[in-house]
Amino acid sequence: MVHIPQHIQDLNSYTPGKPIAEIIADLQLKEWAILWNNENNLGPSPKVIEAIEKEAKNLKVYPDPISVALRKSIAKAHDCGIENVVVDNGSESLLDNIFRSFLNVDDELLTCEGTFVALYIWAKANNKKLRKLPLGRGYRFDVKRIVESINPETKAIYIANPNNPTGTIITNDELDEMIQLVPKDVLIIIDEAYYSYAHSLSDDYPDSFELRQPNVITLRTFSKAYGIAGMRIGFALGPAPLIEAMAKVKMTFAPSNIAQAAALAAFEDQEHIKTALELNKKALTEFYLALHEAELDYIPSYGNFVMVDLKTEEKAKQFTDDMLNKGVFIRHLKAFGLPHCVRISTGTEEENKLFINSLDS
């Protein structure tokens, strides 16, 4: 019998729930709001659809393996060289590349509980040591505690900023302090998947790439504000030697030619992004008011979602089920290590209205 390594045996297989269409049919829903995956329900720019249709004629051809056109566009927007940008199949692939590029067998990744679940999965899949600290007050990354917890085995630190699923951020001063105190041979991974949203919501939200540090890698994605989660494409920014290492281990022809074309069109239509950001800001304001009136505790968010603390797992699960029966799909956060909480994404104006009205019914 072929031996399966223990760290792979210990992984839990992804078990998808019922398809959305089947749930809608089973519950006989007449209206619904899909607010559970932090997607941009406004959707992509019309220019993205045009780019996809045009690129579909080239499906017989392999994609550009080094994504030159897209990387040039990203580099120009960030005032850096193309050598400071690598593109791959979303943040998960970029994290996988980081584990394979920089962490040896005995190296440790330091992070917190209650953050991006895929980080834990890829650490396990790559058989890497992962040490999780408790989140600090207000469900925030405790930068001081993280720095104090570095030991000789610590090779990398992961910070999600804003954090998913809590929506909290570390500030400019906190990031500066961490970078000054963390040894330069320890890699700092800053996952800024919700960068566009946070930047529009706070003047104290830092851009980690602007600091141009030799041990900092910044992750971004096209799955959120850019509205093309289905394309599976993201990028990393950082020092050329680190980016080169990540490029060496990525799949040769990733991302696909259609994904590259879609991302390029999405990135260049900043007016569409502004519309998405304004919709999100309005939705969060309305959510906060509705949650306050419903006497539910929420955590102010810098993403396109809000986390609600229901105090117990039983209440969180019941709230999730009640919302589903009213047509509102939200996320119970048990898998994130926060079983007493739920996360509600912002959606279209119609979806947001359905959620708010469901709180009153």
Q: Which of 6-20, 291-305, 320-334 has the lowest mean pLDDT?
A: 6-20
pLDDT of residue 5: 85
Averaged confidence pLDDT in the chain: 96
Q: How does residue 319 score in pLDDT terms, banded at 50, 70 and 90?
A: very high
- Are 245 and 139 in the same domain? yes
CA distance 259 to 274: 22
Closest by CA position to 51, among listed 267, 309, 281? 267
For tokens 């990203």, the residue is 74
Taking residues 131-138, what's their average pLDDT?
96
Kindly state the tokens that stand for 205.
Answer: 């939200």
For residues 116 and 141, state if they share a domain: yes
Find all residues with CB under 8 Å of 320, minimum gap 6, and list them.
330, 331, 332, 342
Q: Are residues 321 and 298 in the same domain?
A: yes
Buried b (16+ CB within 10 A) or exposed e, 160-193: bbbbbbbbbbbbeebbeebbeebeeebbbbbbbb
**1 domain-assigned:** no
Q: Is the same domain home to 95 and 15?
A: no
CB 325 within 8 A of CB 290: no
Are residue 180 and residue 248 in the same domain, yes or no?
A: yes
CATH number of the domain where residue 24 is located: 3.90.1150.10
Rg (CA), the chain: 20
Question: Are the CB atoms for 32 and 24 separated by under 8 Å?
Answer: yes
Res. 10 pLDDT band, cuts 50 70 90: confident
What is the percentage of the chain residues whose pLDDT exceeds 70?
99
Full-model pTM:
0.95
Give, to the nearest 10 degrees, the angle between helix 240-249 and helix 90-102: 100
What pLDDT digit, counting tens, does each position of 233-253 carry? 999 999 999 999 999 999 999
Last residue of a domain, one of 253, 269, 285: 269
- Give residue 297's pLDDT: 98
Range of the domain at 151: 46-269
Say if residue 126 is in the same domain as residue 212: yes
Is 14's pLDDT higher than 80? no
Query: What's the rounded Cα separation, in Å, for the pair 5 and 48?
Result: 42
Query: Do 114 and 257 have their domain in common?
Result: yes
24 belongs to a structural domain: yes
Q: Which helix (H) or strand (E) holds 308?
A: strand 305-309
Q: For 315-333, what is the mean pLDDT?
A: 98
The reported pLDDT for the residue numbered 13 is 67
d(CA 188, CA 180): 11
DSSP letter string, 87-113: EESHHHHHHHHHHHHH--TT-EEEEES
pLDDT by residue (tens digit) across 150-183?
999 999 999 999 999 999 999 999 999 999 999 9
Mean pLDDT of 278-288: 98
pLDDT one-digit tens code per residue, 31-83 = 999 999 999 999 999 999 999 999 999 999 999 999 999 999 999 999 999 99
Over residues 301-320, the mean pLDDT reads 98
- Asked if residue 70 and residue 207 are part of one domain, the reply reads yes
pLDDT of 200 above 80 = yes
pLDDT of residue 285: 98
Tally of helices (H runs) and strands (E runs) in the chain: 14, 13
Nearest one of 278, 205, 256 to 40, comparing CA atoms: 278
DSSP output for 142-177: -HHHHHHT--TTEEEEEEESS-TTT-----HHHHHH
Which pLDDT belongs to residue 280? Answer: 98
The residue from 243, 269, 295 where one domain ends is 269
pLDDT of residue 16: 63
Give the pLDDT score at 99.
95
User: Which tokens is 319 given?
Assistant: 């709230």
* Domain harbouring 82, CATH code: 3.40.640.10
Domain-terminating residue out of 269, 295, 318: 269
**299 falls in which pLDDT band (50, 70, 90)?**
very high
